[in-house]
Amino acid sequence: MKVHMTAAVAAILFVAGIGVGYGAKQRPTPLTYQDKAPQDAAKALLEIALAQSGKNGSWERIGAGRVYYLGGLKAEGQAIFDAILADKHEYSDLYRIARVYAEAGEWDKAKPLFDRFVAANPSDAKGLAEVGAYYLLHGDRATAETMFRHALAIEDLDPWMTEHMAGAYLGVKPQE
C-alpha cells in the first residue's frame, strides 16, 4: 500500500511540476507594451519572443533577429544571427538570414550566405529561382539566368518560382 501511495504522490508532484513549468512560459500581455516608447515596447516583446522560441527554434529566433535588424537594432539582430551560425544549423537558416540581409539592402552580406545555401542545395528549384532573382535585382543577370535555367530543369510548374523570376525583371523582390 505504501508503494502505491508513494507512486501516486510522485505522479501528482510530477504533473504539478509540469503544470508549473508550462505556466512559467513567458507570454506577452498588454503590460508588456502598453504606455511604453515604441522601441521599448518592441524590445520587451522581442525578449518574450526569444524566450518562447527556446534554444532550438532557429527559424523563430531568425524571425526575432529580423525584427531587431530591420527595426534599427542591428547589433541585437546580428548577435542572434551570429549565435545561430556559430552553432550547428540547417542550410535553411543561411537562406533565412540571407533574406534579412537582402531585405536590409545589404547584398554584400546576403550573397555569401545565399551562395552557401545554393552550393548545399543544388536541387532546390524554388531556392535557386529566388536566389537567382536576388542576383538579377543586384545586376548580375548572367548568374541569375543560369540559376533560373537550373531551377526550371528541376521544376517548371511552380508558380512561386515563375513569379520570383518575373518579379526580378521588374525590380520586385521575392515574397516569402
Domain layout of the chain by residue ranges = 1-89, 106-176
Q: Are 98 and 176 in contact (CB under 8 A)?
A: no
| pLDDT at residue number 55 | 73
C-alpha cell at 97: 538570414
| pLDDT at residue number 142 | 98
Angle at 56 between CA 55 and CA 57, to 5 degrees: 100
| pLDDT at residue number 24 | 58
Q: What is the pTM of this model?
A: 0.81
Q: How high is the mean pLDDT in each 10-residue block of the chain (176 residues)? A: 46 40 72 94 93 85 96 97 94 96 97 97 96 97 98 96 96 89
- Separation between Cα atoms, residue 162 and residue 156, nearest integer Å: 8
Which residues have CB under 8 Å from 174's CB, separation 6+?
Answer: 130, 133, 134, 163, 164, 167, 168
Would you say domain 106-176 falls under CATH 1.25.40? yes
